[in-house]
Amino acid sequence: MIKKAKSMMGVLLIFSMLLACLAVELPAAAKSKVVLARNPKAVNERNQADGKETARLFDRALLALTGQKTAAAAWKTLGLKPDDVVAVKVNCNTWTIGLSPHPELMAALCSSLQKVVPANQIIVYDNEAAALTASGFILNRSASGVRYTGTEGDGFDDQQRLTKIVTQTATKIINLASLKCADGGLVASLLLKNHIGSLVPEDMPKCHTDADFLAGVCARPSIKDKTILNMVAGLRGTYRRSVPWYWAGIILGTDPLAVEMSAIGVMNEKRALEKVEPLPVPVHVTIAEKKYNLGTTDPAMIEQVKLDL
Amino acid sequence: MAHVEYNEKMKFAPRWGIFLLCVLPAVLHGHGSQGPLPKDFAPVGVPQRYGPPEQKLAAGSIFDYMDGGGIVYLEHGFRELVHGEFLDPRGRRITFDRFTMATPVQARAALADERIAPAGGKSMPLDAPNKGYMFPPDYFIYMVLGKSLIYLHVDDDAMAETLDRFAVDIIAFAKEEK
């Protein structure tokens, strides 16, 4: 009996040693950090942004995300180098209510980027130049200053079926979506949906009916490998389709799905206040996680840092 | 400067005529007569026409106009969208959209669908089913005339009264045409 107990103890000892070894050799996967930063002074109730306060919001959020003390160091942490060309994909929403990123926010982002790269190596783009103009941006395809352009003039890559801004010109990408609730099957129009505007125009409608196709856009090599920052602009957002509120914040992270889920969480907080049912996890986001490994939707694997200025 | 721009816009008088002759009367099921215009506003360019994805019109499909939002309209029997814009001498803009559905019932169902006419709308004292929205600085109205769902929008709610008057004029014109 004693002999049996001793051998059992031995097995247990070996088993626990093995577990300890595994714990050492296989550390828990790092969580995806997401910064949710708000500044009520950044925007008023008439959708007018304050340039200085918006810049403060962006700058603080970037430092909080990277743990650095300067913008230059923060961008370098994210992988930006002085010879990079950075493409910033925005989503200019002007139908029905304006949900485009505020020009003040773009100015803050571009000014921060210029701590590392020259202005002309920054390209802010959407699929239609007219959409940028309607959102208050001034088109610029010249050799000086930040470039603002549509995809119309650059052509498309035949293999990846994406704008050449993404496949050829840019070496780094920032995905800048708007805090937009879509309800229905799509649930929300955020980071994954944003790159629809990088596609060849004839492929765009597929995203409306094919969740797998939509999920796979951000998995295309040029987008997946070059993206250094995912951001949701939410000075003004919608928590129900076309119903706006002034959240007065931005959401930043390197994991697109963690940022996407955090943005949906922000909408759900507002929906709870307004006694509206919460939004579910969109099907295309689940596919992006399970099939394309674009990030995590697991709340346990997302570290949210909340910053209230 | 704004006046110069306005005068430039007025050079498009023939286009304006096209708008009057084709768009508003078409909205109101009439032909050849002048429709109402918002006071002090002039049309910008020519109206754009969008169809369903399988039957694109001159400006393309509804997805070219509003991206994924178009799916809901298709569920309600969407046939055609006519989009027009008006500018006043100060550069302020009014958006006019007419969504034609297959039947009047579908147009009314579209108005009742919060994925189109969102939550938060209030019924206004207009002689047509409608919902009005004050989301500063935006102000917009959805209303139903026959098979059409009409959408009127300004991005400066100081123009709410102008938009209301435009809605009333459109409805009156529709009744006259009938």
Q: Domain boundaries in chain A? A: 49-308
What CATH number should be reported for the domain holding residue B144?
3.40.1000
Could A240 and B135 be called an inter-chain contact, meaning their C-beta atoms sit closer than 8 Å? no
Q: What is the mean pLDDT of residues A105-122?
A: 98
Which one of A45, A46, A95, A151 would you mutate to disrupt binding with B, by most B Cβ within 10 Å of its Cβ?
A95
Q: A7-11, A140-144, B110-114, B172-176 — which is least confidently predicted?
A: A7-11
pLDDT-derived band at A15 (thresholds 50, 70, 90) equals low
Pick the CATH number of A49-308 from 3.30.70, 3.30.450, 3.40.50, 1.10.10: 3.40.50
Q: Which residues from chain A sit within 8 angstroms of residue B65, using beta carbons?
A: 95
What's the number of domains chain B is made of?
1
Averaged pLDDT in 10-residue chunks for chain B of 178 residues: 40 42 47 63 91 93 85 94 92 93 97 93 95 96 96 94 94 80
Enclosing domain of residue B45:
2-177
- Nearest CA to A233 among A146, A109, A124? A109
- Beta strands A147-150 and A122-126: pairing type? parallel
Q: Which residue of B has its CA nearest to A91?
A: B67
How many A/B residue pairs have CB atoms within 8 Å? 57
User: Is residue B119 less than 8 Å (CB to CB) from chain A?
Assistant: yes
Q: Which residue of A has its CA nearest to B67?
A: A205
Could B71 and A209 be called an inter-chain contact, meaning their C-beta atoms sit closer than 8 Å? yes
Q: To the nearest 5 percent, what fractions of chain B are helix, strand and coil? A: 40, 30, 30
Q: What is the mean pLDDT of residues A35-53?
A: 97
Here the ipTM equals 0.80
- Nearest CA to B85 among B58, B37, B57, B47? B47
DSSP letter string, A79-116: T--TT--EEEE-----SSS--SPPHHHHHHHHHHHTTT
Q: Measure the CA–CA gap between A240 and A242, rounded to whole angstroms.
A: 6
Beta carbons within 8 Å of B69's beta carbon, 6+ residues apart: A95, A182
Choose between A226 and A1: higher pLDDT.
A226
pLDDT in tens, A61-82: 999 999 999 999 999 999 999 9
Could B115 and A241 be called an inter-chain contact, meaning their C-beta atoms sit closer than 8 Å? yes
Could B136 and A240 be called an inter-chain contact, meaning their C-beta atoms sit closer than 8 Å? no
Q: A254-283: string of b/e by CB count within 10 Å (b at 16+)?
A: bbbbbbbbbbbbbbbebbeeeebeebeebe
State pTM to two decimals. Answer: 0.86
pLDDT in tens, A242-279: 999 999 999 999 999 999 999 999 999 999 999 999 99
User: Is residue B20 less than 8 Å (CB to CB) from chain A?
Assistant: no
